[in-house]
Chains A and B, each alone.
Chain A
Amino acid sequence: MKTTVGVSLSIALLLCASFAVRQQTGVAAAADNITLQGTGATFPAPLYQKWFSEYNKLHPEVQVNYQALGSGAGVKQFQQGLVNFGASDAAMTDDEIKAVKDGVVLLPMTAGSIVLSYNVPDAPSPLKLSREAYIGIFLGKIKTWDDPAIVKANGGAKMPSTPITVVTRSDGSGTTFVFTTHLSAISPDWKAGPGAGKSVNFPVGVAGKGNPGVTALIKQTPGAIGYVEYGYALQTKMPMAELENHDGKYVPASLASGQNALATVALPENLRVWIPDPQGAEAYPIVTYTWLLCYKKYQDPKIAETIKALVTYGLGEGQKDSESLGYIPLPSNVIDKVKKAADQIS
């Protein structure tokens, strides 16, 4: 009996082994295909994935795997050389760049807005929020929807007395980074309190995982307000508040207001810039670029060429996809700058 078991076990092992060998030869046969690995921000993930699949249709030999694990993970894996490229909403700090010996090229590929989405039955549509109001809400100082600050911003409209539930991101994210950077820029109280970062200690509220988590919680909770990406709110048809901008005007999130905000700041040499509080009457207050992280030098020239081709595709054909997915297409002067920067890749 024991012999039977032993023999059958060894045969099973042999079968496994032969199967593994066959699979390996399968990989070897397709050796001239190029597979790129990328990891990073969840914010631009839908757009990147669209680009990569479209590019794959045009060039079937190029396969790009993009894993949306978050900006932090993107930077980390990029530094460790585990991926061919990274992606981050918070770019990379100088210290982080120094740690990469092959050199880093930061390429802003697209931009997006962050909106305050809400679920307030009987609220005026669209809801207007002054700076005082939304800072107060996120600091936990404004607790109900009929607070004078909110009523005043909406021209004295009648607001329900529903308690406010603030919904934030539970996971560290570039979205949180951009949102809290904006809050820190406009409120000394916020700067001294929770501060800016990918994951901060929010004074109030509940937290959901990722944009889907936040959106689900807002939808399920009367009186909720939370921050999500514009594209995500657009696709899930969430109401978005008009926010008071630097010039004291109430601006809805849109393609035009986002582009106006981007136009207020010129890109520096390293292409790394944040726009915590854009000026201009028509500028939406919370916008950001999002960056692709590439090495300056790749061991395999083929990979360098492919990445360059991908960047060119994204900056050209790819910008057309931005709008339908809720991203802000880059202005043409920015595209030229990014193209020039991409030439450093070799």
Chain B
Amino acid sequence: MSIAEAKVADNLRTAKVDAAAPSGAAAEISQPPSTLDIFLDRGFRRSTLIIAWFIVALMFWLVISIARQALPAVRSYGISFLTTTTWDPNKAQFGILPAISGTMYSSVLGLIIGTMFGLAIAIFLSEGFLATGIEWLLKLLRLEDKRPWSSIPDRLEDFLKITVELLAAVPSVVYGLWGIFVVIPLVRPAADWLHGHLGWIPFFGTTLSGPGLMPASIVLAIMVLPTISAISRDALVAVPPKMREAAFGMGATRWEAILAVFIPTAATGIFGAVILGFGRALGETMALAMLAGNANVISWSLFSPANTLAALLANHFPEADKIEVGALMYAALVLLAITLVVNVVGTLILDRADASLKGLR
């Protein structure tokens, strides 16, 4: 660092001298790079290239090594692994249909809840609702031009944004514990009422016995919230000013502008955010292992316990023997495939969102 800084400072000094006496040391500035410069420059470029490719190779190596360990299980169980429902290491019967359905069900449910709130937060933070309210309050108190007060709206908006993003930093185990001790008792009365009065609807078909899809999905929703709100907000902020002005210029009210112009314009970006959140929900392990109930049950009921692929892996891997390890690797491969597809789709959609806005910028 110090060498580089000294060099830069030196260059600056010579530049100043040059400015004072243009005829003097002009040759010094335009000198060719030294051998050391060239060497470092190339070395840096190559090392970044190697590191970048190393990550790609690592990814492939990961997939290949999992696939290799999964091979015996793939051979002996084949497609029935995906369609049967028993996981019994004692009898060497392995099927992950309940885990697949539980993974998808809890993720989709968590995503629906998470998107509702995430999008609401994104609109709230990007369209200046907070600022308007506070500015009105400040005006009322005649403080709008006074120094420390006038910056409050911006600060508060930043604070809210950071708070939502901080949700992503809470460890999964903490969410799990919070789910067991807070969410489950909280949803139990509602669940009992729904089951008692509307039990004929398949979604409320069973009682909530503690852990189950509903509490798991609620906690999952909170976990995907930061992803969805942050990216949706970026998408909404990226709506070109021309569009905004045009919408208001046509006489649209704020709500009309948001619902009919801004959200459709940002739709691809928001959809990409949802897909990325989906990817996160699919892979979430610890909180779900604690909240989903780990029971191999397939049910439409929101209150029924369930299992997920990630939880299955986390629960069984430490004690697994040889055949079970193969089966677990097979399950990991399935999870990897699902997550990969979801993430690739999400990235493609985000790319398209960028491309479609190009002409408008």
Contact = CB atoms under 8 A, between A and B. Distances in A.
B91 A172 contact: no
Interface residues of B, number: 46
Interface stretch (B17-25, B65-73, B227-235, B318-326): B318-326
Main secondary structure of the interface of B (DSSP, over half): helix
B180 interface: yes
Interface string A178-205: 0000000000000000111111110001
Contacts of A196: 90
Interface string B195-216: 0000000000001011110000
B40 A170 contact: no
Given A206-B293, A207-B293, A213-B290, A173 B43 contact: no
Contact of B210 (A7, A172, A220): A220
Given A73-B319, A171-B316, A165 B209 contact: yes
A337 to B, nearest CB: 29
A3 interface: yes
Main secondary structure of the interface of A (DSSP, over half): mixed
A70 interface: yes
Contacts of A4: 4-5, 7-8
Contacts of A205: 295
B44 A2 contact: yes
A171 B294 CA distance: 9
Contacts of A10: 40, 43
Contacts of A69: 318
Interface in B283-303: 289-290, 293-296
A119 to B, nearest CB: 10
A221 interface: yes
A6 interface: yes
Contact of A207 (B33, B294, B318): B294
A272 to B, nearest CB: 19
Nearest to A166: B209
Given A197-B89, A221-B209, A3 B1 contact: no
B80 to A, nearest CB: 16
A71 interface: yes
Contact of B1 (A11, A163, A165, A221): A11
Interface in A194-231: 194-201, 205-209, 213, 216-217, 220-221, 223-224
B88 interface: yes
A326 interface: no
B87 interface: yes
Contacts of B177: 216
Interface of A: 2-12, 69-73, 163, 165, 167, 170-173, 194-201, 205-209, 213, 216-217, 220-221, 223-224
24 contacts: A3-B37, A6-B44, A11-B3, A12-B1, A72-B318, A73-B318, A165-B210, A170-B289, A171-B314, A171-B318, A171-B319, A172-B89, A172-B315, A196-B90, A198-B89, A199-B89, A199-B316, A200-B88, A200-B89, A206-B209, A220-B181, A220-B184, A221-B184, A221-B209
- A-B CB proximity, top 7 nearest: A172-B319, A72-B319, A221-B210, A6-B40, A206-B293, A201-B88, A170-B294
Given A2-B41, A11-B1, A209-B290, 15 more contacts: A3-B33, A6-B41, A72-B318, A171-B316, A172-B320, A197-B90, A199-B319, A200-B88, A205-B295, A206-B211, A209-B294, A209-B314, A213-B290, A216-B290, A221-B210
